[in-house]
Amino acid sequence: MSAAVALALASLVFAALTDVFYKLAQRAGIHTPSFMILHAGTVALAMAISAAAGPGFAFTPLVLAVGPIFGMIGFTSRILFVASLRDGAALVNPAIFRMSFALTATLAIAFLGEPLTVTKALGIAAAVAAVMLFNLPPAGWIRFERHTWLVLGGMSCAGLLQFFYKIALGAGAQPQTLLVVQGVAAVTVATLFARVRGGGVRIGRRERLYAPLCGTMTAVSVYFLMRAYQVGEASVVAPIAHLSFPVTGLLAVLFLKESLTVRKVAATVGAVAAIVALS
């Protein structure tokens, strides 16, 4: 197993844990804009501690230029995803959200010159099939409701952000410093959003409980993902890192009492096959 694949799998595990806590936070009735303020702040703080304890900070012109843009894209992606979980099952919406890897992989192959081998094509196809099977309703067709459109918007933003990560890291951006700048920008955008569209900032006990948990796990997941992008191809790393939904689904069945069907088991097998092919 290559270092890139190992890092992508580590990112996958923490992303799955984050998804489950997002669902718990929504069930608890959090104020989403206020939650995102603390969430983004936690990510920035965690990365600042990591940078201070390790390589130090590298506030290069590149990082200062793209960090705020990444913060706005990341905030938009996350708030759409978190909002979609209010009405969508934890087995479904995270699967749609993770489909962003298809966009990332396509862009990397088309614009970064990453090779498209037979095994890679089969792996990406298996990943797409697994996500589709996981999301396919019993009737055999997808019903687009409000939460579906929300998560599709979040997915598109996430796919673009991963592609931009690969470009920035390839140009020499340091992961921790980039995430600090991105996090500060996200806190600013989240605060403005809460005041203008979210009914003001309302940080209560539920937000103070769940946001730091989700933020810490998100920070770890994204850091592992960035390290994977530094040493591997985006068209390999992105599909693996975003196949966290089988783990999310298992945790949702065990702890959130959500249903587990034959289709979802088959989708999990497909996800494992995709990871093996891409490895």
| Model confidence, pTM | 0.85
DSSP the chain: --HHHHHHHHHHHHHHHHHHHHHHHHHTT--HHHHHHHHHHHHHHHHHHHHHHTT-----HHHHHHHHHHHHHHHHHHHHHHHHTTTS-TTTHHHHHHTHHHHHHHHHHHHS-----HHHHHHHHHHHHHHHHHH--TTSS----HHHHHHHHHHHHHHHHHHHHHHHHHTT--HHHHHHHHHHHHHHHHHHHHHHTSSS----HHHHHHHHHHHHHHHHHHHHHHHHHHHS-HHHHHHHHT--HHHHHHHHHHHS-----HHHHHHHHHHHHHHHHH-
What pLDDT does 87 receive?
A: 64
What pLDDT does 138 receive?
A: 56
Region for 56 from its dihedrals, namely left if φ exceeds 0, alpha if ψ lies in -120 to 50, beta otherwise: left
What pLDDT does 33 receive?
A: 84
For each of the chain's 279 residues, which pLDDT tens digit applies?
789 999 999 999 999 999 888 888 988 888 888 898 999 999 999 999 999 998 899 999 999 999 999 999 988 987 788 778 766 555 567 667 777 888 899 899 999 999 988 988 998 888 888 877 776 655 545 566 777 788 889 989 999 999 999 999 999 999 999 999 999 999 999 899 888 876 788 888 999 999 999 999 999 999 999 999 999 999 999 988 888 877 887 888 887 777 777 777 887 888 888 888 887
What pLDDT does 135 receive?
A: 63
pLDDT tens for 134-147 read: 766 555 455 667 77
What pLDDT does 233 receive?
A: 94
Amino acid at position 274, single letter: A
DSSP 19-37: HHHHHHHHHTT--HHHHHH
Q: Give Cα separations from 151 to 83, 195, 249 (angstroms).
A: 8, 23, 17
Q: Domain segments of the chain: what residues? A: 3-278
Contacts 24+ apart (CB under 8 A), 47-53: 47/175, 47/176, 47/177, 47/179, 47/180, 47/183, 47/219, 47/223, 48/176, 48/180, 50/176, 50/223, 51/174, 51/176, 51/177, 51/180
CA-atom Rg of the chain in angstroms: 18
CA–CA distance, 81 with 96 (Å, rounded to integer):
10
Region for 199 from its dihedrals, namely left if φ exceeds 0, alpha if ψ lies in -120 to 50, beta otherwise: left
